[in-house]
């Protein structure tokens, strides 16, 4: 049997764990098991379902410490971040338990026009394909609403971080886990019994998943990448704490976050001030080292190819006349892992690859502007539109510019996870995907409207309608 050997990206000679590769027959068996489970699960009252999910949350909560260590070792994320991710995943699961009974309740109208019931019906089996950069929470934002709604789930996590998320999934009801690369994903997405597909990942894989789902006429939700601008209006006023938050908005998870700040736009007259304060904040909060070392805030990137790609982007920036400013400080030896020096790059034009591409790593361009009017066109350039941020001392001014940005989610005076809200739907526009996670919309992604209607004309005492009549 083929296996996936997951190495520790901080110490590449260390194998953290192994999982078996699931072949097409194994995927089929997992989908069939999920299909057998979902009808009984869907038939249970939603109050019973959320009670089971709350109990599962308690089980996972009791294992947070050990799961966080496992996640840190397989992903390279600092241990504190891994604890935070698992805790946030449980916070979201409990939010779903609190809100699903209300959001998914059937709506009924009985009036002079007739009797109308709109139910929220589960799809059946949901296939989820999830990434490595935040494997637990990015699985949970699919698992929790899908399960609360009465679906069963087959989850395929990334081969680069399959271990901790599999342990979390094992604690949840009616969830099957399969492992592998593109062949396993394709077998899952094109299985005729899979009625909904949920995917988070990059553009290339997203196109393949969407095409495969489309070939089966399977509904899907796609949360793809972003090249997210952070815009600082001329009146911005940042404290030291604000700068520290901004630094981590770019470099948390070594910059490998879809909604990280990836382009910084600053008034030309304030570039020197900004650069000095940003660099000083990075020196305070950006500590690069082994994820299990106390105090480390940035670990390695996920793989050797990822490290090579990011270094090539920085080298290409220098060849175009850019200047690299190394950030933060390192603790301990970094020779045994995929570590990349966090870098601020200045002096680039808007056509530089570090500006036009989603770098997905610890390098960020700092770009000057002269007039506020030029900002929407520059920020909206490109095919991606996941998130953005606007920073200003005048909140109304920030909201005004935000309305002109092509982004599914705009943060004001913050960026990345500090600006998230469980009640706010999250997702992209343009080629950053479709569908939404979090909020009520994230719950409604996993149900279909099912209508029962008795028109007044055909109820007792109704006058009827001619066979050729249209609805009134």
Q: How does pLDDT run across 436-452, given as a tens digit for each residue?
A: 999 999 999 999 999 99
Work out the pLDDT band at 188, boundaries 50, 70, 90: very high
Number of helical (H) and strand (E) elements in the chain, helices listed first = 15, 22
Tell me the two tokens of residue 265.
Answer: 């736009």
Cα distances from 121 to residues 93, 110, 350, in angstroms, run: 20, 20, 47
Cα distances from 198 to residues 164, 176, 212, 408, in angstroms, run: 20, 15, 12, 18
**Tell me: the pLDDT tens digits for 227-244?**
999 999 999 999 999 999
What is residue 415's predicted lDDT score, i.e. its pLDDT?
Answer: 98
What is residue 345's predicted lDDT score, i.e. its pLDDT?
Answer: 98
Place of tokens 């490109």: 382
Work out the pLDDT band at 55, boundaries 50, 70, 90: very high
What is residue 332's predicted lDDT score, i.e. its pLDDT?
Answer: 85
Work out the pLDDT band at 90, boundaries 50, 70, 90: very high
Which strand (E) or helix (H) includes residue 13?
strand 11-20
Check: CB of residue 8 under 8 Å from CB of residue 302: no
What is residue 299's predicted lDDT score, i.e. its pLDDT?
Answer: 98
Residue 165 has pLDDT above 80, yes or no: yes
Tell me the two tokens of residue 222.
Answer: 């796609």
Q: Stretch 159-186: mean pLDDT, rounded?
A: 98
Residues involved in catalysis? 223, 258
Which strand (E) or helix (H) includes residue 314?
helix 304-319
Check: CB of residue 159 under 8 Å from CB of residue 129: no
Work out the pLDDT band at 294, boundaries 50, 70, 90: very high
What is residue 211's predicted lDDT score, i.e. its pLDDT?
Answer: 96
Dist. CA 71–CA 59, nearest whole Å: 17
* Percentage, residues of the chain above pLDDT 90: 98
**Tell me: the pLDDT tens digits for 358-396?**
999 999 999 999 999 999 999 999 999 999 999 999 999
Q: Is 402 helix (H, G, I), strand (E, B) or coil?
A: helix
Work out the pLDDT band at 53, boundaries 50, 70, 90: very high
What is residue 355's predicted lDDT score, i.e. its pLDDT?
Answer: 98
Residue 1 has pLDDT above 80, yes or no: no
Work out the pLDDT band at 333, boundaries 50, 70, 90: confident
Dist. CA 376–CA 305, nearest whole Å: 33
Q: Stretch 47-68: mean pLDDT, rounded?
A: 98
Nearest to 236 by CA among 184, 189, 274: 274
**Tell me: the pLDDT tens digits for 13-45?**
999 999 999 999 999 999 999 999 999 999 999
Residue 457 has pLDDT above 90, yes or no: yes
What is residue 472's predicted lDDT score, i.e. its pLDDT?
Answer: 77
Beta strands (DSSP E) in 194-307 are: 194-200, 219-223, 229-232, 263-267, 287-288
What is residue 403's predicted lDDT score, i.e. its pLDDT?
Answer: 98
Q: What is the pTM of this model?
A: 0.96
């Amino acid at each position: 049997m083929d296996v996936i050997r997951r190495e520790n990206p901080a110490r590449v000679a260390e194998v953290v764990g192994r999982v078996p590769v699931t072949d097409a027959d194994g995927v089929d068996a997992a989908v069939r098991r999920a299909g057998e489970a979902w009808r009984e699960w869907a038939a249970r009252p939603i109050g019973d379902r959320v009670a089971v999910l709350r109990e599962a949350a308690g089980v996972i909560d009791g294992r947070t410490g050990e799961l966080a260590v496992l996640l840190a070792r397989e992903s390279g994320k600092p241990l504190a971040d891994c604890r935070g991710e698992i805790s946030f995943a449980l916070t979201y699961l409990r939010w779903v338990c609190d809100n699903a009974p209300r959001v998914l309740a059937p709506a009924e109208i009985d009036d002079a026009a007739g009797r109308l019931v709109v139910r929220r019906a589960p799809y059946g089996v949901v296939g989820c394909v999830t990434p490595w950069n935040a494997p637990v929470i990015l699985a949970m934002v699919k698992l929790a609403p899908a399960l609360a709604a009465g679906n069963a789930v087959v989850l395929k996590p990334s081969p680069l971080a399959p271990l901790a998320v599999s342990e979390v999934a094992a604690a949840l009801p009616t969830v099957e886990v399969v492992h592998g690369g593109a062949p396993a994903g394709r077998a899952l997405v094109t299985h005729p019994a899979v009625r909904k597909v949920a995917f988070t990942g990059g553009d290339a894989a997203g196109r393949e998943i969407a095409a495969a789902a489309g070939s089966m006429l399977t509904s899907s939700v796609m949360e793809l990448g972003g090249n997210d601008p952070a815009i600082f209006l001329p009146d911005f006023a940042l404290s030291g704490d604000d700068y520290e938050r901004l630094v981590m908005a770019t470099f948390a998870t070594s910059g490998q976050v879809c909604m990280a700040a990836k382009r910084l736009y600053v008034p030309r007259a304030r570039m020197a001030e900004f650069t000095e304060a940003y660099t000083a904040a990075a020196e305070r909060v950006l500590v690069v080292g082994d994820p299990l070392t106390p105090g480390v805030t940035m670990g390695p990137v996920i793989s050797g190819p990822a490290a090579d790609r990011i270094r090539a982007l920085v080298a290409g920036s220098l060849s175009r006349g850019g200047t690299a400013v190394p950030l933060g400080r390192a603790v301990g030896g970094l020779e045994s892992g995929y570590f990349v020096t966090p870098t601020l790059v200045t002096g680039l034009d808007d056509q530089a690859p570090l500006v036009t591409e989603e770098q997905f790593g610890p390098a960020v361009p700092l770009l000057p502007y002269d007039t506020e009017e030029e900002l929407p066109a520059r920020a909206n350039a490109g095919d991606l539109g996941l998130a953005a941020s606007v920073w200003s001392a005048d909140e109304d001014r920030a909201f005004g510019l935000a309305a002109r940005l092509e982004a599914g989610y705009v943060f004001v005076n913050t960026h990345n996870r500090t600006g998230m809200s469980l009640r706010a739907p999250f997702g992209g526009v343009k080629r950053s995907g479709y569908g939404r996670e979090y909020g009520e919309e994230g719950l409604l992604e996993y149900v279909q409207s099912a209508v029962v209607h008795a028109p007044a004309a055909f109820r007792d005492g109704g006058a009827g309608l001619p066979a050729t009549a249209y609805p009134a």
